[in-house]
Amino acid sequence: MTPSPTAPEPAASPLLAERNGRVVTLTLCRPHRRNAMSTAMLEHLAAELMQLTNSKDGAPGALVLTGAGGTFSSGADTREPDWRDLSRRAVRRAHFRTVFEALHEAPFPVVAAVEGYALGGGLELALACDLVVAGEGALFGLPELGVGAVPGGGAVHSLLRRAGRGVAARMLLIPGERVRADELARLGAVERTVPDGEALAAARELAASVAAGDPALLTAGVRLLRDSGHLDRTSALGVENGYWWQAASAANREPALPGVTPS
CATH classification at residue 20: 3.90.226.10
Q: Higher-confidence residue: 226 or 110?
A: 110
For the purposes of burial, counting CB atoms within 10 Å of the CB of 12, is it exposed (0-12), middle (13-18) or buried (19 or more)?
Answer: exposed
Q: Do residues 87 and 180 share a domain?
A: yes
Beta strands 192-194 and 131-135, pairing class: parallel
Active-site hit among 48, 80, 115, 124: 124
**58 labelled catalytic:** no
Domain count of the fold of the chain? 2
Q: Do residues 246 and 143 share a domain?
A: no
Active-site hit among 76, 185, 189, 207: 76
Q: Give 69's contacts (C-beta < 8 A, 6+ positions apart).
A: 31, 34, 35, 116
Q: Do residues 143 and 242 share a domain?
A: no
**124 labelled catalytic:** yes
Q: Do residues 23 and 135 share a domain?
A: yes
In a domain, 193, yes or no: yes
Count CB-CB contacts under 10 A for residue 210: 21
pLDDT band at 243 (very low <50, low <70, confident <90, very high): confident
Q: Do residues 230 and 173 share a domain?
A: no
pLDDT band at 79 (very low <50, low <70, confident <90, very high): confident
Q: Do residues 113 and 129 share a domain?
A: yes
Instruction: Look at residue 11 and tell me whether its pLDDT is greater than 90.
Output: no
Single-letter amino acid, residue 234: T
Q: Give 165's contacts (C-beta < 8 A, 6+ positions apart).
A: none
What ranges in the chain are assigned the alpha helix state H? 39-54, 86-105, 121-127, 155-162, 165-173, 181-187, 199-211, 215-228, 233-250
Q: Give 260's contacts (C-beta < 8 A, 6+ positions apart).
A: none
In a domain, 257, yes or no: no
Active-site hit among 48, 80, 144, 191: 144
pLDDT in tens, 18-54: 999 999 999 999 999 999 999 999 999 999 999 999 9
In a domain, 2, yes or no: no
**Length, in residues, of the chain:** 263
Residue of 236, 123, 103 lying closest to 190 (CA atoms): 123
Q: Percentage of the chain with pLDDT > 70?
A: 89
Q: Do residues 118 and 35 share a domain?
A: yes
pLDDT band at 251 (very low <50, low <70, confident <90, very high): low
Buried b (16+ CB within 10 A) or exposed e, 31-53: bebbbbbbbbbbbbbbebbbebb
Q: Do residues 142 and 92 share a domain?
A: yes
> Which residues are bridge partners to 217 per DSSP?
none
Active-site hit among 61, 75, 121, 152: 121
Domain extent, residue 207, equals 15-211
The answer to whether the CB of 90 falls within 8 A of the CB of 49 is no
Distance (Å, rounded) from C-alpha 118 to C-alpha 67?
Answer: 10
Q: Do residues 36 and 163 share a domain?
A: yes
User: Which of 184, 211, 238 delimits the end of a domain?
Assistant: 211
Instruction: Look at residue 4 and tell me whether its pLDDT is greater than 50.
Output: no
For residues 64-86, average pLDDT: 89
What is the pLDDT, as a whole number, of residue 151?
87
Q: Do residues 223 and 153 share a domain?
A: no
**198 labelled catalytic:** no
Beta strands 179-180 and 139-141, pairing class: antiparallel
pLDDT in tens, 125-150: 999 999 999 999 999 999 999 888 88
**205 labelled catalytic:** no
Instruction: Look at residue 189 and tell me whether its pLDDT is greater than 70.
Output: yes
